[in-house]
Amino acid sequence: MAFLDTYNTPLNASAAAHLLRRATFGPTRAEIESFTGKTAIQAVDILISNVSYRASPPPPVEMNASRSDAGLPFLNNPLTANPVLNYDYSNYIKFWWIGLMAEQNGRPSVLEKLTAFWQNHFVVIYSAVQDYRFIDRYLRLLRSNALGNFRELATAVSKDPAMLIFQNGNESTKEHPNENYARELQEIFTVGQKDFYGNHNYTEQDVKAAAQVLTGWQAKNLRKAGTTQIETVFTPDRHDSSDKTFSSKYSNAVVTGRSGSMAGDEELADLIAMLLGHPECPKFICRKLYRWYVNPNVTQEIEDGVIVPLASFFASASNNFEIGPVIKKLLSSNVFFDTSNVGAIIKSPAELMIGTVRFFDVPVPDLTTQYVYFEKLTRFLNDSMKLLQLELLDQPTVFGSPAYFQTGYSKNWINETTIGIRGKRTDTLVASNVEVKAGELMGVDIFGRLKKIQPNFSDVAGTPAITCEQVLDEFLRNLFAVDISQSQKDFLIDSIMMMNSSPRSTWMKEWDYYRSAPNDTSKQAAIIWRCRALLRFMLRMAEYQIF
């Protein structure tokens, strides 16, 4: 059974949950149920076709209720001279994106997770650009091309105004070519620094030559108050029109020097074609996708059995660097569903925080009509992710977040401090003071959930109470990617839920007291107290940190 062959077993709940955890920021339970029984191909097709539902969501709005244009879009306004407003707008763009990741509209899709992949690949950070319009344009470019063609994406990114600012292309002229982008384009965007065996994929001379090819591009109207448009311009006078010769790593390719207004585009097309023609380029991209979606640990067997064939499919004449088919192939493959790859990644802060919101159906308020509450929830998520060392649209380096490239990969999310913060933040998701609707606090709906598993709720005398074991099973269902032992279950019931002080039967009494007087707050309190303790503990367990 070859790694990349299609996984043909109909998805059981665990496999459906696995697919949804990896392809999105985490499933709701309804999504798991609706995907159960489908084939991998059917499931992935749905995840891809659902992209169209959110291809053009309503734009971000002013979320500060005290401002006169609260609730209104701001992207088409002339650039404000007020730095506070500029910064707030950049946050709203981030919140807008987080809202799309977290919302539960019944249409799970690969879009936001894949966009996040590209945002961590073709990194641009707000701190370096400091003009929200550039970040908006860049994010939209990634989002609308996430499933498109890699050649087009790499080309567009290379002259994206935000990238020109971040990687200094803006200042690169024929007299003084700036090597920053030329290096990153090769090292981290296309061919990769080294191949799987440690051989260099390009030389320092190739960096210099690529820098010459890329001279002449500039971004217009950065931070220029009052302007309504940003754009990229090419100035032939700033462009080096000589021939650029590359090393044997690129088969001694020459990018013919051009002059005139189309010189930049023509040479860029040649350069991208040369980079994509490098045999390591498709492997580099496919290896990174594998690490993102399947397992950061790429063994020789995986290199030979997954990366190499997937790369040759990616670069094949028939596919021609289309991204969508590669995602489909990978997410519906045997290797993706192999049990050894379940739980093989530590959740990023996004998978942890947004995943929890989705799993417990914490409602995401409507951006346009409930912007005050929308802002509260998404700001909480953004602040949490930041504390946990994930800054969307503001990674610490051009390489992205360390957990995606540093030795140890996803283990980098965990240290003594982040373990503590993760726990604090998931505690807050279980119960909080964060309002998500007027009068409604963010948290897990414990009663709603338990009432569903209690038959004949009101018939206290005739129908026995649900047991501790049933309560635990209800909260455990699809919560973890891996099974836990019976001794762990006993510990959760006796030491956490019953707090080492009461027998299990006490729970049934307390539950029946509540059934008899469901509006009595003191009866509710006993239930809430035990269930929240249980949930908080479970979300702090090592098992909840992997997916």
Partner 1 sequence: MMVPLMLDGFGIKSFAKGSTLVQSLRQTAALNSDRVLVMIYLAGGNDGLNTVIPLEHYSKYYDLRSNIAIPETSVLKLAGAPETGFHPVMTGMRSLYDEGKLAVINSVSYPNPDQSHYRSTDIWMTGVDSNQYATSGWAGRYLNDRYAGYPVNYPNSEMEDPLAIQIGQISTTALLGNSQGMGVTIQDPNAFYQLIGEGTARVDTSLPCCDAGDLLAYIREKQVLAVGYAAEIKAAADAGTNLAAYPDASMNNELADRLKIVARLIHGGLKSKIYYVELGGFDTHSGQVGSTSVEGTHAELLKKLSDGIAAFQNDLKLQGIEDKVLGMTFSDFGRRATSNASKGTDHGIGAPMFVFGTGIKRQMIGTNPDLVNGLLPELPTVGVSNRDIKMQIDFRRVYGDVLNDWFGTANSKTDQILFKDFKTTSLFSDVVQSISSGSWANPEIWSNGRVPTALTQIKINSGHIVEVGQNITAKELKIDAGGKLKFLGDYGVKIAG
Q: Return d(Cα 510, Cα 460) in angstroms, integer.
A: 12
Cα 243–Cα 247–Cα 253 angle in degrees, nearest 5: 50
* Piece of the chain touching partner 1 by CB under 8 A; list 25-33, 89-97, 336-344, 437-445: 336-344
Contact with partner 1 (CB under 8 A) among 24, 28, 341, 454: 341
* Piece of the chain touching partner 1 by CB under 8 A; list 109-117, 245-253, 283-291, 421-429: 421-429
Angle between helices 324-331 and 280-293 (to 10 degrees): 50
Q: Return d(Cα 426, Cα 122) in angstroms, integer.
A: 30
- Is residue 53 involved in binding partner 1 (CB under 8 A)? no
- Is residue 420 involved in binding partner 1 (CB under 8 A)? yes
Contact with partner 1 (CB under 8 A) among 481, 497, 527, 531: 481
* Piece of the chain touching partner 1 by CB under 8 A; list 137-145, 301-309, 409-417, 512-520: 409-417
- Is residue 451 involved in binding partner 1 (CB under 8 A)? no
- Classified as helix, coil or strand, 76 is coil
* Piece of the chain touching partner 1 by CB under 8 A; list 267-275, 327-335, 463-471, 484-492: 484-492
- Is residue 190 involved in binding partner 1 (CB under 8 A)? no
* Piece of the chain touching partner 1 by CB under 8 A; list 220-228, 248-256, 408-416, 505-513: 408-416
**Closer of 171 and 474 to partner 1 (Cβ):** 171
Contact with partner 1 (CB under 8 A) among 130, 297, 432, 463: 297
**Closer of 449 and 532 to partner 1 (Cβ):** 532
Query: Which residues does 233 contact at the CB level (< 8 Å), separation at least 6?
Result: 217, 218, 219, 220
- Is residue 342 involved in binding partner 1 (CB under 8 A)? yes
The DSSP output letter for 60 is: P
The H-or-E segment that residue 415 falls in is none
Instruction: Name the minimum Å distance from CB 529 to partner 1.
Output: 18
The H-or-E segment that residue 254 falls in is strand 254-255
Report the chain's terminal Cα–Cα distance, integer Å.
24
Sign of CA dihedral 130, 136, 142, 148: negative
Tokens describing residue 527: 């239930």
- Is residue 542 involved in binding partner 1 (CB under 8 A)? yes
* Piece of the chain touching partner 1 by CB under 8 A; list 191-199, 245-253, 276-284, 460-468: 191-199
- Is residue 50 involved in binding partner 1 (CB under 8 A)? no
Q: Give CA 194 to chain center in angstroms.
A: 26
- Is residue 408 involved in binding partner 1 (CB under 8 A)? yes
- Is residue 237 involved in binding partner 1 (CB under 8 A)? no
Instruction: Name the minimum Å distance from CB 92 to partner 1.
Output: 25
- Is residue 235 involved in binding partner 1 (CB under 8 A)? no
- Is residue 203 involved in binding partner 1 (CB under 8 A)? no
**Closer of 93 and 414 to partner 1 (Cβ):** 414
The 10 Å Cβ neighbour count of residue 286 is: 23
Tokens describing residue 476: 């455990």
Q: Return d(Cα 294, Cα 547) in angstroms, integer.
A: 10
Tokens describing residue 113: 């997770």
Taking a C-beta distance cutoff of 8 angstroms, is the pair 190, 275 a contact? yes
- Is residue 196 involved in binding partner 1 (CB under 8 A)? no
**How are the residues of the chain apportioned to helix, strand and coil, as percentages rounded to the nearest 5?**
55, 5, 40
Instruction: Name the minimum Å distance from CB 166 to partner 1.
Output: 10
Task: Concatenate the DSSP letters of all residues of 494-547 into one string.
Answer: IIIISTTTS-HHHHHHHHHHHHH-TT-HHHHHHHHHHHHHHHHHHHHSHHHHB-
> How many angstroms separate the most distant Cα atoms in the chain?
90
- Is residue 193 involved in binding partner 1 (CB under 8 A)? yes
Q: Return d(Cα 524, Cα 504) in angstroms, integer.
A: 18
69-108 binders of partner 1 (CB under 8 A): none
- Is residue 8 involved in binding partner 1 (CB under 8 A)? no
**Closer of 136 and 391 to partner 1 (Cβ):** 391
Count of residues that interact with partner 1, criterion CB under 8 A: 62
- Is residue 144 involved in binding partner 1 (CB under 8 A)? no
Contact with partner 1 (CB under 8 A) among 68, 252, 487, 521: 487
The dihedrals phi and psi of 263, each to the nearest 5 degrees, come to: -60, -40
Q: Which residues of 463-485 are buried (b: 16+ CB within 10 A; e: fewer)?
A: eebbebeebbebbbebbbbeebe
- Classified as helix, coil or strand, 448 is helix
Instruction: Name the minimum Å distance from CB 103 to partner 1.
Output: 29
- Is residue 476 involved in binding partner 1 (CB under 8 A)? no
CA atoms within 13 A on the CB side of 417: 4
Contact with partner 1 (CB under 8 A) among 252, 416, 438, 448: 416
Contact with partner 1 (CB under 8 A) among 68, 433, 485, 519: 485
Query: Which residues does 344 contact at the CB level (< 8 Å), separation at least 6?
Result: 294, 295, 296, 297, 546
Instruction: Name the minimum Å distance from CB 95 to partner 1.
Output: 23
Tokens describing residue 499: 């707090």
- Is residue 397 involved in binding partner 1 (CB under 8 A)? yes
What does the binding site for partner 1 look like in residue numbers (CB under 8 A)?
168, 171, 173, 175-176, 178-180, 183, 187, 193-194, 198, 204, 207, 295, 297, 339-346, 389, 396-399, 402-403, 405-408, 410-412, 414-421, 423-424, 481-485, 487-488, 491, 495, 542-543, 545-546
